[in-house]
Chain A
Amino acid sequence: MKILVGLKHVPDTETKVKVADDGVSLVEAGIKFVMSPYDEYAVEEALKLKEAAGEGEVLLVCAGPESATATLRQGLAMGADRAVLIQDPRFDRADGLVRASALASVATQESPDLVLLGKQGVGTDESQTVPMLGELLDLPHVSAVGTLEIVDGRFTAHREIEGAVEVMEGSLPAILGCEKGLNEPRYASLKGIMQAKKKTIDVRSAADAGIEDGALGEGKMVVWEKLDLPAPRSGARILEGEIDDQVVELVRCLREEEKVI
């Protein structure tokens, strides 16, 4: 089974980000970039499926800057077989459709039996790539998969919904978005790190990746106009006095100070 795993290179969730002077990008100096945490579940699941089958190939694909090779190398060190990095200036602050289009082109070139992604990319957290990729390729797609079984070319995916578990079945190839808890991602061992050095990261331009002119929407459908950091949290206040007075004061604060009611 050939499994394609889409990866996103994102700022570490522990990093405190700063907005650059242009107002739409982040100050990258001093920020650590990592594999988007949900993508780790996708890599792990792909490796487990390959190991269970005893054969197959795990191919990593990332549309991103040259520095994203670090994320691909991490996936290779976990055990993936090869990696493709598609580079194009249009991926800079790209929207979900641009990324999904790029992945769709590579998927068309590579014809995998299964495509696994994180259910969302940490950072922008739009959760768009899975359904968009499914629609672009006209393949079944399920996101937020918490349990996955693959038997005889069909998948059974469990996803948690409000108060229940939804069970989806479908045929392969399919696009599945991985949820936290699907598995326990392995560490990239020293052996894996050493082996990753010998694996190739195939760097392709958009054209090499089969992305036709116009396929990236020529300019984005979503344009980043302004980035703002969340307002710093001001100190909490504990209201005092009789309960009736506290309620009056609470309502006053919500109306006059916070202006939320």
Chain B
Amino acid sequence: MVLRLNTLFQNGYVLHRRAYRETSFLVDVFTLEQGKLRVVAKGVRNSKSARGSLVQPFLPLQLSVAGRHELKTLRHLESAGKGFSLLGNHLYCAMYLNELLLRLLPPDMPFDILYQAYTMSLQGLAAKADIEPILREYELLLLQELGYGIPLSHTGDSGEPIEQTGVYQYSPQLGLIAHKGRYVPQHSFSGEVLLDMAQAHWHPQSLKAAKRLTRMALKPLLGDKPLKSRELFLQPIQEFSQ
């Protein structure tokens, strides 16, 4: 079965590529059928090879891979449509999406819902839509698909529905729980904002809260190494303030 699947064309995107040996690339791809894969694209860096321009992120591809081990060999590679032209902050965001996928997805497991959402997010970013809602919806979906979803309609410990007037806090083990103890604005969320987030009703408060919530939820998954793509956003702001 695996062998048969390997010979079929898959739809996918390049997440990242790095130079390997003299003329090859080590490529991480995200495909609809097999999820995240690492493949060797042989001879692609050769100046005579026309495939080099295809081994680029944000370009829909059709590819087939071969091999039984974790590291596979790229057999065929074709363009499956026009690449997303991303500029400036939208490009950094798309790189952030790739970094998240690369860091968090387990290899060789299909995530079709996430794949569709990835395509939709890239379309949104290429159309220069608002960055924040795209990123927040994507992060929430990613957490859910990885099995770390945060239920936004009821609390994680008692299962009671989230009330408009309630105040809640996030616990990595339980999810959202009714707020106890001292009120710390950085760690608590109002019920109203959480319900808006659940319905993807985005306004400045719900976006801000969603950003805090997804950061708290992603942090234990990402470990000690910080996400570098965030630096691309931080630096210019520091420069402005100087």
Are A and B interaction partners? no
- B residues lining the A interface (CB < 8 Å): none
